[in-house]
Structure 1
Amino acid sequence: MSTLKIAIQKSGRLNEDSIQILKDCGISINNGNDQLKAEASNFPLEILFLRNSDIPQYLIDGVVDAAIVGDNLLVEKGKTIQVAEKLGFSKCKVSVAVPRSFEYKSIKDLDGLRIATSYPNTVNDFFASKNISVDLHQISGSVEIAPNIGLADAIVDIVSSGSTLFKNNLKEVEVIFKSEAVLAVSPTISNENQAILNKLQFRIQSVLRARKSKYILMNVPNDNIAKVTQILPVLKSPTVVPLNEKGWSSVQTVIDEDKFWDVIDQLKEAGAEGILVCPIEKMVL
Structure 2
Amino acid sequence: MLRIAVQSKGRLYDETMLLLEEAGIKLNKGKRVLLLSAKGFPVEVLFLRDDDIPQSVANGVADVGIVGENEYVEKGGQAELIKRLGFSKCRLSLAIPKDEEYNGVEWFEGKTIATSYPGILEAFLKQNKVKAELHVISGSVEIAPGIGLANAIFDIVSSGSTLVSNRLKEVEVVMNSEALLIANKKLTEEKKEVLNELLFRFAAIQEAEGKKYVLLNAPRENLNEIIRVLPGMKSPTVTPLADSEWVSIQSVIAEKHFWEIIGKLKSLGAEGILVLPIEKMIL
Coarse TM-score class (shorter-chain normalised):
over 0.9
Name the CA shift for 1:112/1:266 in 2 (closer, same or farther; >3 Å): farther
Alignment match, 1:156 = 154
Long gaps (5+) in structure 1: none
Q: CA deviation at 1:263?
A: 2.8
CA contact (8 A) 2:54 2:77 kept: no
The amino acid of 1:122's aligned partner reads I
Measured against aligned partners, the alpha-carbon deviations of 1:236-284 in whole angstroms (never above 9, x if no partner) come to 1101122344522221111222332443333333333333221112111
Alignment match, 2:226 = 228
SS at match of 1:148: coil
Find the aligned partners of 2:272 and 2:117 in 1 and give their Cα distance.
Answer: 52
CA contact (8 A) 1:94 1:179 kept: yes
Runs of 4+ aligned residues of structure 1 deviating over 4 Å after TM superposition are none
Long gaps (5+) in structure 2: none
What TM-score results when the alignment is normalised by the length of structure 2? Answer: 0.94
Alignment match, 2:58 = 60
- For 1:20, which of 1, 18, 21 is the aligned residue? 18
What's the % identity of the aligned pairs? 49
Alignment match, 2:117 = 119
CA contact (8 A) 2:55 2:79 kept: no
1:181 aligns with 2:159: no
Q: CA deviation at 1:231?
A: 1.6
Find the aligned partners of 1:82 and 1:225 in 2 and give their Cα distance.
Answer: 48
Measured against aligned partners, the alpha-carbon deviations of 1:154-179 in whole angstroms (never above 9, x if no partner) come to 11111111111111111111111111
- For 1:109, which of 79, 103, 107 is the aligned residue? 107
The amino acid of 2:36's aligned partner reads A
SS at match of 1:147: coil
The amino acid of 1:253's aligned partner reads S
Alignment match, 1:35 = 33
- For 1:264, which of 259, 262, 265 is the aligned residue? 262
Q: CA deviation at 1:201?
A: 0.7
What TM-score results when the alignment is normalised by the length of structure 1? Answer: 0.94
Measured against aligned partners, the alpha-carbon deviations of 1:110-133 in whole angstroms (never above 9, x if no partner) come to 222211100000100111111222
Measured against aligned partners, the alpha-carbon deviations of 1:103-151 in whole angstroms (never above 9, x if no partner) come to 1122222222211100000100111111222211111110000110111
